Structure 1
């Protein structure tokens, strides 16, 4: 009896979805004629394909895959490289290694990719500079960044400037770093620049300005949807914890 009731309820839910979504009414026949088998076919062939392209579902799926199998991208990159040792495949390998925090290996891959390439690859040169920074070699990173062809002011210019500000802060050029952070923060999309700047300010002991920046991050985060926040969950968690500490200290 319970199975029969559950079956009828599932059929009704599927039928209502057909009507509300405006899908082909022929599904009503399958749902009521074949019971659970018809419902299963409807879900597999109509409902799931429609939602699979949804950006929220894609994000959730990629996050799950990343946690369950973090080296999946690395294996794919190495498989592609085994098939063809090209500049693009070496750079893709570098990207996968960089994402995993394996910076020394990423540096080697990027250098091989640049050597195999036909000419200057500004994007990869910037990635190499970032890798050097992550390795604690900020002076080498700055030298690498200085050799990258200039671009006009825009998102790419700001991205490079943020990296430069972080490297300047790392080598103790605090005044230059602060000026550059302030400049980039006024234009850089997202909250990454603000969080890096707040971390720098906290190291400098400027708790008041750091709190102002983190409160801006908090206010902006409230206007984001769950998927947007989830993409940088660790960053927002860090910002929330530091802001809570600053507020507690000021109370």
Structure 2
């Protein structure tokens, strides 16, 4: 059977299922079956797309699809907003988007431009700057920013900031201090990255038995967690399994 015919059938079946699930008049099914591609196109325009716009899940899926197709789209939109209205919130949003996209140079510039006046020691902005600095490999500067953050905001707490500080110490060769920070994070970080980095650093410095204990405890604990948590942390759990296998071979 030609590919064109198979594709037409698949689209028709998909639209027919949508008719039934959305409670639309059943005559749509006959129109779709008779009209082939033209009817499918009309139905998508008048029924499927409006439903997607009003369905939060549909909007989320469409947003993710657009992000894959055009990852710079949101950045351009935020840039236009900033040009129209140079507000703190618009600048913050663009800075965060640059950070998420890995454009660390522009992220640093934007976060620095926010750290003035009444926002000179705003902890979230300082953390964003430190993340951009670390992303570009400037771990000394990132550490200094994080230390200035805590000095200016002693009551501020951030698991992401704590993890970033530990990573800076590791990258700068301060192993004992990094291990102490990771040890705390192994119990407090809301995810598996802290535990994984603790075990990996132990292993890298030949504390193999301790590293095995960390990874084994991590995997045992994960089995007790809900399925959605294991799916969310799948990459770190897989990495922990690989490290445990490597340690078993050493």
Q: TM-score, normalized by length of structure 1? A: 0.69
Deviations 1:45-68 (A, max 9, x none): 545635772598358526623xxx
Which residue matches 2:23?
Answer: 24
What residue in structure 2 maps to residue 182 of structure 1?
Answer: 183
1:194 equivalent in structure 2? 195
- Residue 17 of structure 1 and its aligned partner are, at CA, apart by 5.2
Larger mean CA deviation between 209-218 and 139-148 belongs to 209-218
Task: Give the drift of 1:29.
Answer: 0.8
**1:100-139 alignment runs, 5 A limit:** 100-115=101-116, 120-134=121-135, 135-137=138-140, 138-139=142-143
Alpha-carbon contact 1:87-1:116 (below 8 Å) kept: no
Contact 2:130 2:143 in 1 (8 A): no
Mapped pair 1:161 → 2:162: yes
Q: Which has the higher contact order (CA 8 A, sep 6+)?
A: 1
Match of 2:89 in 1: 88
- The count of residues paired between Structure 1 and Structure 2 equals 237
Distance 1:175 1:87, change over 3 A: same
Gaps of 5+ in 2: none
Change (3 A) 1:82 1:202: farther
Which of the residues 65, 71, 78 maps onto 1:61? 65
State the partner residue of 1:223: 227
Cα separation, partners in 2 of 1:57 and 1:239, compared to 1, 3 Å:
farther
Please list the CA deviations of residues 130-176 of structure 1 after superposition, one character each: whole Å capped at 9, or x if unmatched.
Answer: 33334222442343332342447xxx533332222223333444333
- 1:39-78 matches, cutoff 5 A: 39-47=40-48, 49-50=51-52, 53-54=57-58, 57=61, 61=65, 64-65=68-69, 69-78=70-79
Q: Contact 2:203/2:247 (CA < 8 Å) preserved in 1?
A: no
Cα deviation digits, residues 16-55 of structure 1 (max 9, x gap):
5544x2x3241x1122145334444444554563577259
The structural deviation recorded for 1:119 is 5.9
- Determine the C-alpha separation between the residues in 1 that align with 2:144 and 2:16: 64
- Confirm or deny: 8 A CA contact 2:143 2:165 kept in the other structure: no
**Structure 1 gap ranges (5+):** none
CA distance in 2, matches of 1:14, 1:84: 43
1:114 CA drift (Å): 1.7
